Amino acid sequence: MSKLLNFNAWANKIASEKKAVKSKATKYVQDTVRKVYKEAVKVSPQWSGNFAYNWALEFGSHSQYYTKRFKITPWNAVRDPSKDGVHSAGATARVAGDPVIVNAAVKDVEDIIMQIKWNHKIRLVNHTPIAEDMAAGRIRLRPANTVSGTHAVVEHLKTKFKFLKSQDKI
């Protein structure tokens, strides 16, 4: 009588390969999300840095909320150095790509990115109170804060990363 032995070895091999594929896919998704997130923060208009810092990654049951970490109150306490120098409180206006904001945002979101899996539906959302006005173009920006002559960060991201799709609201 002929016998075939150890069919379980194939099942174990398939499970191992499936795990490796999921791991590679997860790493690819995390790396891509990291690139998109960094670009969003880098090109976002900034005054105090609050808008750029508030880009949030949401997926599954994970969501983030508005934070005032870089908010300067009142906003008009921040002075444009091209006009009248540094405000007496020392608050100088920031411009898009400010390394302090970009580095803080990227560092602070890293733990969240590491929670993303290959099959999560991920949203990039900005929860600042002015986000909707910013997306609609109702806020006049300084030239140092525009993206290629415009101020539509979402449109810039969709152009640079062809796989992205936007929703009606930011």
pLDDT tens readout for residues 17-30? 999 999 999 999 99
Confidence of residue 170 (pLDDT cuts 50, 70, 90): very low
Whether 78 contacts 87, CB under 8 Å: yes
Which whole number is the average pLDDT over 4-15?
79
Angle between helices 99-113 and 8-43 (to 10 degrees): 160
Among 31-40, 66-75, 77-86, 141-150, the range of highest mean pLDDT: 31-40
CA distance 40 to 55: 7
User: Structure tokens of 94?
Assistant: 């920031």
Neighbours of 60 (CB within 10 A): 12
Q: Would you state the pLDDT for residue 76?
A: 66
Where are the chain's structural domains?
A: 34-160
Whether 52 contacts 28, CB under 8 Å: no
| Coil, strand or helix at 57 | strand
pLDDT tens readout for residues 98-130? 888 899 999 999 999 999 999 999 999 998 887
CA distance 71 to 51: 9
Which whole number is the average pLDDT over 6-25?
86
Between 11-25, 84-98, 126-140, 150-164, the lowest mean confidence (pLDDT) is in: 84-98
Find tokens 């152009």 and name the residue. 159
pLDDT tens readout for residues 45-98? 877 778 889 999 999 888 888 888 887 776 666 666 555 544 445 566 777 888
Q: Would you state the pLDDT for residue 155?
A: 81
